[in-house]
Structure 1
Amino acid sequence: MKIAIIGAGAIGGYVGVKLALAGEDVTFIVRGANLEAIRSNGMKLIMHDGTEHVTKDVKATNDYAQAGPQDVVILAMKAHQVEAVAKDLPKLFGPETTVVTMQNGIPYWYFHKHGGPHEGKHVTSVDPTGMLAEMIPPRRVIGCVVYPASELIAPGVVKHIEGDRFPIGELDGSSSDRVRAISECFTKAGFKAPVLDNIRSEIWLKLWGNLTFNPISSLSHSTLVDICQFPLSRELAASMMREAQEVANKLGIEFRVTLDKRIAGAEKVGKHKTSMLQDIEAGRAPEIDALVGSVVELGRLTQTPTPHIDTVYALVKLLARTMEEEKGHVRMQAAA
């Protein structure tokens, strides 16, 4: 398959190297230091066991038109970064091009082929102008939930930490030829990519933790185990999760694990800084609306009170705005 990967960061680099090593025709759409590094040295992947893989036969460009029509386009960036590239994406589309969305949180296409009273509704917190739905028509989309953890440790170099699961699914729950072909492609590359008949349920399961632990960690500068073991923050997380569960239930979603088990899973991760906390410390714009704001929006849509989520959302949005205005970052430092 001809596969374009938008972004060669932690997840995009990991996926791209594995697909290229499996024989797929991979093009990274990147810029800056990453572009130069890949062009000069290829893309390197350091696995969790220390083994190294380098693929030098991948293409890298910042010119979408030069890359041309693809069989599959993988969006491997954070949700709030997609709008910046949306207008260029159609240059990668042929008549049958499929787009695999790897963003965390509620996606812009959530209510496409959803059925019921909310069919076709627009998620404005994720796609405020409607540009994403226009430039990336939901009919092209295969949903994907990302479970692996990795990090970009240098331009053109990704270190894998753990995980290999990328569940995927058609928005209408069908088992189409294209979703099976993508599953087989990912499986050949060494990933677990089961085809799900309800990709939204899997999205909510991951979001259940992200919408709580990410903003709480950012506001408290604490790791997952700290949040889970401190009684007050553990109860705050649980309260947010209960509110989110009620919203999800009203949209027809049932969680396959209990709330306590989900918190216990986060606790087992240990002294891990969430991606949002890492962004706050680095002075990068944090991923807030897809993870938290979207749940606030869906709470209003389903007439479900979400007071704990609303409060945390307001605080982390204010933090992000202050960082932007001051052009700074916030980081815990040892006292002198």
Structure 2
Amino acid sequence: MRICVVGAGAIGGLMAVKLALAGNAVTVVDQGAHLAAIQKQGLKLIWEDGSALTADLRAVASAAEVGKQDLVILAVKAHFLDQIARDIDGLLDDGTMIVTVQNGMPWWYFHNFGGALDGRRLDTLDPTGLLARHIPGDRIVGCVVYPAAAVTGPGVIHHVEGDRFPVGELDGSESARVQRLHDLLVEAGFRSRVLDDIRSEIWLKAWGNLSFNPISALTHATLEDICRFAQTRALAATMMAEAQAIGEKLGVTFRHTIEKRIAGAESVGRHKTSMLQDVEAGRSLETEALIGSILEMGRLTDTPAPAIEAVYACVMLLNKTMTAEQAGVKLVGAA
């Protein structure tokens, strides 16, 4: 299968290596030193057990260089999607699937949603409608990312834990294409299943993202540390309860309790969330996809979320300060 992975970072790189080694024609789109390293020596994946895999795959700097594909995986962070949306048409052939693997809520959430909110644009994620105009909603297949990974150097991805990528059509149907996607992921060595309610699975993952990511960004604590410190564990639970009230008004079914979701995060161990990694590296934060979009849904459903609002305000200011200073924030040893 012809596959383009736009963004060969932690998750995109993980998927690209495994899909390429399964025999697919994979092209990655990336920039800078990471791109140069991939072009020179391939993309290396170090699995959690220490085993190393390297895929010698095509790597380019722009989607405009890629050509027609059977599958396009959008693996850049949500706030960078507008930068590649205008070039995506050149990747699309008859039947091309688009899979989004961003953290948090997707901009397409209300596409094929049904009911009064069907087709509603989320202003926090697509304020001008650019994404909806350039990325055809009917080509999108939903996907939820459970693995944790990190870029540990140019051309090197380190897998931390997890291998699940559940998928589903936005209208809940069991189509031939979603089954093809499922089979593709399984053949690459991942676990997957086809869901008839992909949005409920998105909320299950977002439950953790909206709480653990910003708390870690503000405190520089790992998942294990957050869950084992009584006050931050309670704050995460409060934020999750507020989000659950919003989700349930949108018809979401939560198949786990809040305590089980927190226990799952704790079991990951001393892992730095993606937002904390971005804070340390001085990169812009995924505030809208992880938090702002859920607050927007709260406004749409008349559901108050004061704890989420407070944490969102602090993370927004952190992001503003980092941007103004063009700097990251990292703990250093005391003298």
Question: What TM-score do the two structures reach when normalised by structure 1?
Answer: 0.96
Deviates more, 1:189-198 or 1:61-70: 61-70
What SS does the aligned partner of 1:292 have?
A: helix
Q: Does the 8 Å CA contact 2:295/2:305 hold for their aligned counterparts?
A: yes
Structure 1 residue 160 displacement after superposition = 1.7
Match of 1:55 in 2: 55
1:273-327 per-residue CA deviation (whole Å, 9 max, x = no partner) reads: 2111121121111111100001110000000011111111111101100111111
Structure 1 residue 119 displacement after superposition = 0.7
Correspondence 1:22 to 2:36: no
Q: Given the superposition, is the C-alpha separation of residues 64 and 275 from structure 1 closer, same or farther in structure 2, using an over 3 Å criterion?
A: closer
Deviates more, 1:320-329 or 1:33-42: 33-42
Structure 1 residue 193 displacement after superposition = 1.7
- Where in structure 1 are there 5+ consecutive unaligned residues? none
Structure 1 residue 205 displacement after superposition = 0.2
Measured on the aligned residues, the alpha-carbon RMSD in Å equals 1.3
Question: What TM-score do the two structures reach when normalised by structure 2?
Answer: 0.97
Q: What amino acid maps onto 2:139 in structure 1?
A: R
Match of 1:270 in 2: 269
- Where in structure 2 are there 5+ consecutive unaligned residues? none
Q: What amino acid maps onto 1:28 in structure 2?
A: V
Q: Which runs of structure 2 are paired with 1:279-290 in the superposition (5 Å)?
A: 279-290=278-289
Correspondence 1:119 to 2:115: no
Structure 1 residue 221 displacement after superposition = 2.0
Match of 1:149 in 2: 148
Deviates more, 1:217-226 or 1:79-88: 217-226
Match of 2:13 in 1: 13
Deviates more, 1:29-38 or 1:79-88: 29-38
In 2, the alpha carbon distance for the partners of 1:327 and 1:102 equals 27
Q: Given the superposition, is the C-alpha separation of residues 312 and 3 from structure 1 closer, same or farther in structure 2, using an over 3 Å criterion?
A: same
Q: What amino acid maps onto 1:280 in structure 2?
A: V
Deviates more, 1:47-56 or 1:284-293: 47-56
Structure 1 residue 231 displacement after superposition = 2.2
Q: Does the 8 Å CA contact 2:161/2:268 hold for their aligned counterparts?
A: no
Q: Given the superposition, is the C-alpha separation of residues 100 and 161 from structure 1 closer, same or farther in structure 2, using an over 3 Å criterion?
A: same
Q: Given the superposition, is the C-alpha separation of residues 233 and 54 from structure 1 closer, same or farther in structure 2, using an over 3 Å criterion?
A: closer
In 2, the alpha carbon distance for the partners of 1:151 and 1:224 equals 15
Q: Given the superposition, is the C-alpha separation of residues 82 and 163 from structure 1 closer, same or farther in structure 2, using an over 3 Å criterion?
A: same
Structure 1 residue 329 displacement after superposition = 1.7
What SS does the aligned partner of 1:146 have?
A: coil
1:74-102 per-residue CA deviation (whole Å, 9 max, x = no partner) reads: 01121112111111111111232110000
What SS does the aligned partner of 2:307 have?
A: helix
1:244-275 per-residue CA deviation (whole Å, 9 max, x = no partner) reads: 00000000011111011111222222322211
In 1, the alpha carbon distance for the partners of 2:37 and 2:328 equals 27
Q: Which runs of structure 2 are paired with 1:1-336 in the superposition (5 Å)?
A: 1-56=1-56, 58-336=57-335
Aligned length: 335
1:177-206 per-residue CA deviation (whole Å, 9 max, x = no partner) reads: 111111111111111121111110000000
Q: Does the 8 Å CA contact 2:214/2:315 hold for their aligned counterparts?
A: yes
Q: What amino acid maps onto 1:10 in structure 2?
A: A
In 2, the alpha carbon distance for the partners of 1:59 and 1:329 equals 32
1:32-63 per-residue CA deviation (whole Å, 9 max, x = no partner) reads: 2222222222222222222222222x211124
Structure 1 residue 217 displacement after superposition = 1.4
Structure 1 residue 161 displacement after superposition = 1.8
1:18-38 per-residue CA deviation (whole Å, 9 max, x = no partner) reads: 111111111111222222222
In 1, the alpha carbon distance for the partners of 2:274 and 2:19 equals 25
In 1, the alpha carbon distance for the partners of 2:5 and 2:59 equals 10
